[in-house]
A and B are shown apart, each in its own frame.
Chain A
């Protein structure tokens, strides 16, 4: 087996890490993954590859992660509970580790209703917390049903949390469940409401969760006020305060203002105790990542 997760080593070393998200193409042509990967090289420490995000059929997360890996990049494979039962999930995780991809992020997944196959049967055999528990068992050589693996799987396990979703006062406890189930890194939903996020982190620190898991704050640069409104209305789990939308709307160059807001947020985030890095989700605007990283001085 390979040498485990580079991403994990960087986090343990105490580096303030940067991860970015890439969405696989809606075709069998994976060249766009290589192009985006090339553009992120040297700017990020690891790259998340989404798993049919918003329930839209795309090339498989694992296949695209293999492409990135072959370019010397460090992929994080996202795995959702929506499309696969515990047999397929465990099998895919074993395959990923076998191919040298150790970073696995477990999610429930956006509901199938949102995608281009709304008649699909959602699986949800496991929920995300159960999936984390199952993957933790695999690290110890144990399958969900109790059967033994012929060898343990070296997985660096991650999860997500949305500090802005309701019921708000349970979001910290939910994160604790994920940590207890084995999540060693957390990537949050994108932060627009920094005050609310700071309050959430305060709660996280009170429980000492930042010492048991590495927390990466999510960020999404907005391209325009219209895009921000769309995200606020249509994308599940995203909360954008009106003052942010108004600020972008007032700007002469809305794209530039979107970047400014992001850079300012990164500066605020770096001051929060317990934040181990940032996770940039610039879907359909991947090219902005190097700019953000440079402007925020994270090189």
Chain B
């Protein structure tokens, strides 16, 4: 919402400064977005007289001018404008002056070796006009030395407020003035429009035709002014409209635009000679269309409200009129419409057709129903004043009656909700000034809401009205102790897991990324997603269309982008939402990571110490680290070969606690998956779902179990087994552990060998077994006996033989 200071002062008697008004507007909830003060912009530029203008010695197109500034000796200025010549009055910018149109600050300079003490300026250079062809020429009688701002009378600051959607009353300057007057910045003086009785019946009748459903037009008023003379509107009106960025069209149209901004009351004018028969307000019919005043043709449907005559749709109700019945310079008979529209319907239609008009802006917020008729009178008066003619009587269809129940307002609500003490007298003064009627006395009053405040529903709204005008800054900050609440953890299990997962992965040298929750459909499908219920109806881009089933595609794409920038070895992770379905319980928290190129767990890139490509074991270590940090029962986790299709079939694994609870997967990505993601490998990745980790058991005590230390030295023995190549190391380890569950406390795989000395279809796996005696030192015989049990168990489980 834009207006000028002088426009405001037509409704508000005030001596307050611009600064004070701007400050107050913001502090009562009418946030000032910008103040443009042309006076300030033009003030530094002075009227000068060009005494002489001679050819520049070194440039064909430049002239060296001597100018009289009204004080001191004439100044020398170099100028390139073709109209720079002796005798004219021009406008000078002195060194140090900011030139808004060029975004430069002038200095004393030499132009082709000739000193220039400033610049004679064009209209475009100071954003006064669009004229860039020559310097500004002023009338010969313009006094030298005068500020350009004074010369053009540009002393009217333009204020733009960022109006919140509830404040329909402030879509007009009069409403803004009312708010300011309530806040003690002057006295409201908006004149009430004079009622105009028509001289003859309005020849056009109006019918509201919503027989089949809910009315989209509560009321509609219309009158004819005949014998008017349209043409350009007077300068004062044009200046006003131009100041707030509107283009003057003709007097009739400008009047409606003026009242729209002056009173927040949009109107429409039809050229009566272009209207055929009577008007009917109805829903559009499928297939109808309208060439609107913006020159575009809109296709209409039954959800939209239109004004039609006997032949066609003439106006898109409350949003934009039609070109066919619009007023132009030739219009002599004008139908003036002032109506009420269903706000939701206006919003819906406007959104559907993509029309942002000043009328829509107001009607979708809900205009003052009581001002429908006065608004029409105000417009009529202006038409009669500016264009002449004779006004008809008014035809009204529908009703502007509102059924408003006063609000029961216990005054201590102010203290209860806002923590602010406001005397009854002050509260009453504020409410009255805003147009509310307060009946009764403290502590409980009845408050009637003015017709222009459809946003006020209940007592909380009244508290806001009182507090915002009294001043929110008066509310004292009040300590808010935590009270008797027990200090206990505030994070849920999952929140805690998220936090630990992040820190543990970062501690493994990985960098946390936050990638989009939506990915391309093809990628979603590749990773087991792509369900129709998870596809956006209005994605912002085609490759951000589907909710992600996995974090891996986003991370792989991110790693590839880094590679494209020259950083090939990246380890990225993310902890975030993945979507198996649209229901809340189908949203899971995944922790995933990718290692691309040489981003190994032991360090990134080529290095003399070690190196090589990240592989399945880096991903496995990452996955297990996250699970351990997040509190998974590490000893209960099973690693099963293989994983989902996007992993390398022979270099991937599944982490589970029994076949029913799969916690996650790890592995090297399948080359085909990488190709589909348009990424180059190798990439090792993992993904675990934090919710799948079993809930920790509630513990009665924080004490750890008693520490049992054996006084006897542990014994370590090495065994090497020759087994078939497809035998899993984990089976050998488990067999060794099972040989004596009490004494065997550790089994480590320390060597894998295939090659010379071993059958080609076999491999050798060497393990170190730790035995921890409990009661006494073990004898050699006892150790050997366990060794034999281990060999027997491994042989039984894997078919392996002790390597000789």
B is bound to A: no
Instruction: Show the binding face of A for B, using Cβ within 8 Å.
Output: none
